[in-house]
Structure 1
């Protein structure tokens, strides 16, 4: 059985440096070239290609890292109340997306959307399971099939993430409240839920 070699410390450091440089360069210019990213990392183009086959492979790595954070957020919310889970999920995912909006926008680009869908499969399953549970206990609307309602929530998130002003608090407000509205809550019910849980309402007023 062949021995699996652990990457050397300097190789791991170079790879991490490339990813950090890519985040910085792409945040400033979503069309930043491999040359720009390599220079930002203090490495040669050849060294960068030793870690990533091409620019798309580098972007996919960034998307995968971001997806892991999104999936972990979904897994970390364990409240029993489905409406509360949905509100927390919307707020936390939005806050995360606002910090790395350039990656969120790249992830939704047609060139990477299939990879993004695979990387976010745990989050999508969590949303679908939440919708089914919420419909079962009367927390969410039941005039739509669970699959359709989960898809509407996803599509709303895609639309708002793509906005250029995603880091603004009022946009987060719209995102959280719109998710609750899609699930079947009235604006008064959404107000009451956020008022009762100020940790969610912080920055969403």
Structure 2
């Protein structure tokens, strides 16, 4: 899951005072406190000091609200990652991108947000697959561009199918984030960005 930072509530939309933005900030606040996504629409409405009628004018379900929240976080994060990796050799860009995605949370609130949204991804993939794919498309595109850069440099295999490989890398990275603590239980070593990069890059090199 993309890192949700402390500034995310202030960048929910171009108009931070809009009702839609207030609902997303309220959901983010609840996530920061509980790390759970089983809150109700009524809790969001009460936190935002609005009304159920107003909520349903913007979102049909809680899933749509959380999808919009993840969409904003993912778009903002990918925009920043693109700036950081632009112009780097492909292997360096891929390593930096994976490190950024896997960076541990800096605060307990941030950790709660990341944990809650990460485990909600599977639910959204089942209930809103087309919309969820659109949310992930900026990250998928960025990985694909880095792969194409590596093929042009001669660093990565020329026969790579960039779009398919980008999807596999993206899912491997996002899925492996859940193994950070489990890895320590299985073999005594927490799984981090370096492990994930080493695993992914082996299939890219000639």
On whether the aligned pair clears a TM of 0.5, the verdict is yes
Check conservation: 1:101, 1:161, Cα contact below 8 A: no
Correspondences of 1:145-160 after superposition (within 5 Å): 145-160=161-176
Answer with 1 or 2: which has the greater Rg.
Answer: 1
Note if 1:35 corresponds to 2:51: no
Q: Distance in 1 between matches of 2:67 and 2:121?
A: 8
Greater RCO, CA 8 A, separation 6+ = 2
Q: Deviations over 1:103-137 (max 9, x none)?
A: 23323432233212212323212211221221332
Structure 1 segments (4+ residues) deviating >6 Å: none
Select 1:18's aligned residue among 10, 23, 43.
23
Q: Is the partner of 1:43 in helix, strand or coil?
A: coil
- Taking structure 1 as the reference length, the TM-score comes to 0.68
Q: Deviations over 1:30-81 (max 9, x none)?
A: 2211112222333333332233232122122112212212330342121331
Select 2:67's aligned residue among 42, 60, 73.
60
Q: In the superposition, relative to structure 1, how do residues 114 and 95 fare at CA in structure 2: closer, same or farther (>3 Å)?
A: farther
Aligned to 1:134: 150
Note if 1:79 corresponds to 2:100: no
Give the aligned CA root-mean-square deviation in angstroms: 3.3
Q: In the superposition, relative to structure 1, how do residues 86 and 111 fare at CA in structure 2: closer, same or farther (>3 Å)?
A: same
Correspondences of 1:105-116 after superposition (within 5 Å): 105-109=119-123, 110-116=126-132
> How many pairs were matched up?
175
Aligned to 2:102: 94
Q: Which moved more, 1:154-163 or 1:77-86?
A: 154-163
Q: In the superposition, relative to structure 1, how do residues 165 and 69 fare at CA in structure 2: closer, same or farther (>3 Å)?
A: farther
Check conservation: 2:139, 2:170, Cα contact below 8 A: no
- Taking structure 2 as the reference length, the TM-score comes to 0.67
Which sections of structure 2, spanning at least 5 residues, go unmatched? 1-14, 106-110
Aligned to 2:191: 171
Aligned to 1:189: none
Q: Is the partner of 1:120 in helix, strand or coil?
A: helix
Q: Distance in 1 between matches of 2:93 and 2:28?
A: 30
Q: Distance in 2 between matches of 1:182 and 1:18?
A: 42
Q: Distance in 1 between matches of 2:148 and 2:136?
A: 19
Q: Is the partner of 1:65 in helix, strand or coil?
A: helix
